[in-house]
Amino acid sequence: MNPLDRMQIFARVAQLSSFTQAAQVLGIPKASASLAVQQLEAQLGTRLLHRTTRRVQLTQDGQAYFERCKDVLDDVDELQTMFHQPEGTALRGRVRIDMSTGIARHMVLPRLPELLQRHPQLEVEVSSTDRRVDLVREGFDCVIRVGPVAEPGLVARPLGQVPVATCASPAYLARLGTPHTLQDLAQHELVHYVSTLGTRSAGFEVQEGGTTTFLPMGGRVTVNSAEAYLGACLAGLGLIQVPLLGAQDLVEQGLLVPVLAQHPPPPMPVTLLYAHRRHLPQRVRVVMDWLAAVVQAKLGQAPAPHAQ
């Protein structure tokens, strides 16, 4: 039995959590399925499955191997049909993508049903986190970044820019007044955002004459997630500077009020990143093109905030 056959058997056992069911689906004896997984474990030098009389469960190493295994098997299926795939054939396999919660909620997820309807055998895993994932090490096919891109060795596809607004809650403005000039900021507080608690935030960001500067500003609350950032502002704890794609609905509902429109923060670039591979799987290319079209269309119609 070759290594690829062992991988296919292991993947089916992992999917069904059963040697018996996997053997039935594959049309092989249960003993052959068990032997194939044992040989694979010996080859890798680690245990992939916990076996009990009642159930079969992936180990931590098994889960990591299973995730990569699915991608390899999908690539093999695509290679076998690449020269005789009829035009318009539906995609199959999994694509893993990562993006901010704002892009996921406002741009990608509302349009995702149309992609899945077009390709019924396609699986899409969407990760949304404030943490910058390691695209290669964590097995992502592509990621959408909002903000500067600093990862070397990745292919960067610019998608546009998202406007950023300075916002406050109505309760905060009723308590401390609406700032109209940068000098007014001395009487206001900023909700500080940092990626790692314990570090110092840059301060209030402003762009004038093509130059970006940071003004030191007081504030008693520091957060490290987008949801907490918005929540702190909604609670009246200070000003925030937030990409409008994640706050536009709150602005439209009157829960957040844009201020200091004459001193805007610089817009944030939106970039699609993927690892440099000579031959990207077709499913990844199609999903990346779809993502780019969806995000660019949305950025092109982003409404301007109404500022006080």
pLDDT-derived band of residue 139, with 50, 70 and 90 as boundaries?
confident
User: What's the confidence (pLDDT) of residue 166?
Assistant: 96
Q: How far apart are CA 68 and CA 91, in angstroms?
A: 18
Select 3-81's CATH number: 1.10.3720.10, 1.10.1660.10, 3.30.70.1560, 1.10.10.10: 1.10.10.10
Q: For residue 257, give the 3-state DSSP assignment.
A: strand
- CA-based nearest residue to 124, from 306, 305, 290: 290
Is residue 90 predicted with pLDDT exceeding 80? Answer: no
In this structure, are residues 171 and 233 in contact, taking their beta carbons and an 8 Å threshold? no
- Please indicate whether the domains covering 3-81 and 164-259 agree at the CATH topology level: no
User: What's the confidence (pLDDT) of residue 69?
Assistant: 84
pLDDT tens figures, 183-222: 999 999 999 998 888 888 889 999 877 788 899 999 999 9
Least confident piece of the model among 80-94, 142-156, 288-302: 80-94
Which class is 164-259 in CATH?
Answer: alpha beta
Is residue 257 predicted with pLDDT exceeding 70? Answer: yes
What's the pTM? Answer: 0.67
Pull the structure tokens for residue 138: 């964590």
Domain boundaries, the chain: 3-81, 92-162+268-300, 164-259
Pull the structure tokens for residue 156: 């960067």
Average pLDDT value for the chain: 86
Higher-confidence residue of 25 and 99: namely 99
Domain 92-162+268-300, classified CATH 3.40.190.10, yes or no: yes
Compute the average pLDDT of residues 33-57: 87
